[in-house]
Structure 1
Amino acid sequence: MTLAGFELNDGDIRFSAMRAQGAGGQNVNKVSSAVLLRFDVHASVLPPAVKQRLFQKESGRINSEGVLLIKAQQYRTQERNKADALERLAEILAGCATAPKYRVATRPTKASKKRRLAAKSHRGDLKRGRGPVDY
């Protein structure tokens, strides 16, 4: 299975159905339409750098065994919830696939320092002018 540009094994992703939470109609206590997607990060064939970023970014969704959990219960059918869970997994993997751009530290220019200090002194003059007048 190809997801977000990665070739994943079928055993890496497991689905389980459950009853959805919240208000519902007559079928709310009968139909298991919610889906819990389990993605085993440790056993997957993802590159080590992607796995590391995945553990950093999605630490709240990954349990102690290294399994990423995604619960989908937005739709009324199990098939649409399954597709929604796979889309969300693809978004997460795509976000972790690209390395973050490192910030290059820059220094303010001389003119920008001068403008900043001039604005500060102007603001101070305005505030000083609001005070009591000395005759």
Structure 2
Amino acid sequence: MKDFSRELNFKTSRSSGAGGQNVNKVETAVTVLWKVDDSEFFYDSQKVLIHNKLKNRINAEGFLFLTVSESRTQLMNKNKAIEKIIEIVNKALIVPKKRVATKPSKGQKQKRLDTKKKISDKKENRRFRLGD
């Protein structure tokens, strides 16, 4: 888990929604910005992976951004924003394992065919016969 928090830039703004006077006059919402391409912590291949997986969160200038306004204090929102952006980037760097195609064994094939035959016989025996 890489901590690239020294490369982050922050903007503050007023939080939206209900909350009384504190919301109306104090800039507690924090937007964290990170220029992915300028990062010194990641290899180019990792940057490409981040761009591909987080393309909806990266703007035209190449900034990954996230806004947090969960808390009443700017400091708590800043800490929460750092945690979240690090978590998001680290999740984006995880490459899922390739699925290895396998074939069913002979025993499994035979079991499936036997079950099909049993069900077929059962339904055959239920059939109403006119000649009987």
TM-score range, shorter chain: 0.7 to 0.9
Identity across aligned pairs (percent)?
37
Is the aligned partner of 1:108 residue 2:128? no
Of residues 49, 59, 66 in structure 2, which corresponds to 1:70? 66
Q: Deviations over 1:103-125 (max 9, x none)?
A: 22211212222223333444455
- Residues 1-135 of structure 1: pairs in structure 2 closer than 5 A: 4-6=1-3, 8=4, 10=6, 12-45=7-40, 46-125=42-121, 133-135=128-130
Q: Is the 8 A contact 1:50 1:96 kept in 2?
A: no
Residue 105 of structure 1 aligns to a residue whose secondary structure is coil
RMSD after superposition: 2.3
Q: Which structure dedicates a bigger proportion of its chain to helix?
A: 2
How many correspondences in the alignment?
129
TM-score normalized by structure 2?
A: 0.80
Structure 1, gaps ≥5 residues long: none
Verify the 8 A CA contact 2:54 2:92 in the aligned structure 1: no
**CA deviation vs aligned residue, 1:49-84 (integer Å, no higher than 9, x gap):** 211111121111111111101111111111111111
Q: Matched residues in 2 for 1:13 and 1:93: separation?
A: 13
DSSP-derived class of the 2:103 partner = coil
Runs of 5+ unmatched residues, structure 2? none
Paired with 1:124 and 1:21, the residues of 2 have a C-alpha distance of: 65
Q: CA 1:79 to 1:111, structure 2 compared with 1: closer, same or farther past 3 Å? A: same
